[in-house]
Amino acid sequence: MGRSPCCDKNGLKKGPWTPEEDQKLVDYIRKNGYGNWRTLPKNAGLERCGKSCRLRWTNYLRPDIKRGRFSLEEEEAIIQLHSVLGNKWSTIAARLPGRTDNEIKNYWNTHIRKRLLRMGIDPVTHNPRLDLLDLSSMLTPSLYNSSQMNISRLLGVQTLLNPELLRLATSLFPSSQHRENQNFLQQNVQENNVNSTHDQVTNGQFMSPLMQPDQVQEFQNCAPIFSNDAQLMEPQLSNQLHNWQCNEMSNNDYVDLQNYRYYGSDQSFNIDHLTSENSDFQSNGSNNMISMTNVSTPISSPRHINSTGTITEDEREGYSFSSMMKFEFPNNLDISCFL
DNA sequence: AATTTCCCCAACCGCGAAGTT
DNA sequence: TAACTTCGCGGTTGGGGAAAT
């Protein structure tokens, strides 16, 4: 496989672009359009390699590029999309008009990723870092009753289960009388890890264990999520995920994890995507809820806007976090003593 | 005010995929 | 089918400005 020659091998210029170079590139593309990046610099009178020209155009000079700070909606969309697509920056950028893959990648690495880590969330899996948060220590075996939460109903749905969810479940229900359930779960954790690793390796990319390859493809092929700047992606993604479900569900028992709600009933197990509406931190009358916010961050209030109308980093932290992470426990599982 | 450290982001690098000969 | 070219993606770097000392 050949590779395009590197700039410095041809004595071409590298480093920051000058305004004159920008102007030359813009003028040329306005007049002739862009197509053959290899011949473009020569035709445009630039001492740059085609690669550098393409990068400069797509990341900076393109007229439809939106400048300025990412909005909360955009930030949420990035987090949601990243939880499904992983580091597919170009695919994520395609859903955010005016934003480049490079810009989103930089924003993720310099802002969002750090924030997630501060909050105890693994930025790769979007799961809570259970090594930092030992939930099992918060719950005692006496809380568990097999009639309340029958883990065996998870039978037959292992391919949809997130291994982290299974680990969480095993840590939540440590009673020795349910060792059988644990064995089942641990076995499934191992199997899911194998499957998950296999998927990631064979595809050479991160893929949510919840999604089959054709589902990822379907998701990637869907239209841009914004018809204007204010719109969010949830309806499309949520609808798609709904379509992948097939059974009526009873949502008496569920755990919210990694932006998805895992429902269990005696007949079925289902997954629902959490939108910003249903994942806002709140008190739910029919269910006991424990918010990760209570555990690992001091911020538990909804979105705050300061007097200038902008949102501070800390405020973003609290708001975004509430939309990305929440645990809920069934009504009949009393956790009030932990709150 | 001077120096050091930290942080951001534009740009580069290397690789694989797709296209062409 | 193989060899080569071009394009695009994702990871990484380093220059420069901001913040801290």
Distance A61 CA to B4 C1' (A): 35
Instruction: Give chain A's residues under pLDDT 70.
Output: 1-11, 130-339
A15 touches strand B (CB under 7 A): yes
Distance A98 CA to C5 C1' (A): 30
Distance A155 CA to B9 C1' (A): 48
Number of helices (H), then strands (E), belonging to chain A: the values are: 13, 5
Specify the pLDDT at position A314.
58
- Strand C positions closer than 7 A to protein CB: 4-12, 15-16
Distance A93 CA to C6 C1' (A): 22
pLDDT in tens, A161-201: 344 443 433 333 333 333 333 333 343 334 344 333 333 33
Distance A205 CA to C14 C1' (A): 27
Whole-number Cα distances in Å, A219 to A88, A273, A278, A323 = 12, 14, 22, 21
Which nucleotide has the shortest C1'-to-CA distance from A12?
Answer: B12
Which nucleotide has the shortest C1'-to-CA distance from A36?
Answer: C6
